[in-house]
Amino acid sequence: MNDIIDTYRLKITDSRLSIQPKRDYLVKDIVIAVVATGILTCTPLLNLYHQTTWGVLSVGFVLGCFALYDLVFNANVTYIFDSNTRNIYQKIPGLYTRKLMPFEEMHLLSVIEDGLLHYAISSKKNKYGKSYLISHPFSESEKGWKKRALYESEILFCIEKHINQ
């Protein structure tokens, strides 16, 4: 039980519930950043042709930019369900917090993308327009079904309970 709550960094207080659904990106981004750093530091030391050196350095630079973007805009995204204002907010720490929608406008979706199921929230006015993923992808394997059932019973239950207070 605590494992899934830790995975999603679910925090519940009297008036707020927050969740970080994309926290698992962090490890991937750190690995990519280490590879990019290795490429950018080691390539100039190698005796390569001029064009090859710049090609490899370009790959390292693109990887570094990708990792930085992902770290800032994906890994730390927090969705806050605030009972005091009855609104849902999206927070990118250190940059901004923006209001997404009121509780009454929220619609919970199960989205299948690339053959994998995700849970998302969207506005009731435009259910299939802009949506915000609030879960990891769940595969069709037995392990995926167990993770999905655990997510539904622990995380989704808390979100629905908090919204319907």
What does the pLDDT average to over 121-135?
A: 88
CA dihedral 82, 83, 85, 86 (to 10 degrees): 90
What does the pLDDT average to over 83-108?
A: 92
* pLDDT value at 1 more than 70: no
Angle at which helices 25-42 and 50-70 cross, to 10°: 160
What does the pLDDT average to over 10-32?
A: 88
Q: What is the CA radius of gyration of the chain?
A: 20
Helical residues (DSSP H) of the chain, grouped into ranges: 2-7, 25-42, 50-70, 142-151, 157-163
What does the pLDDT average to over 94-101?
A: 91
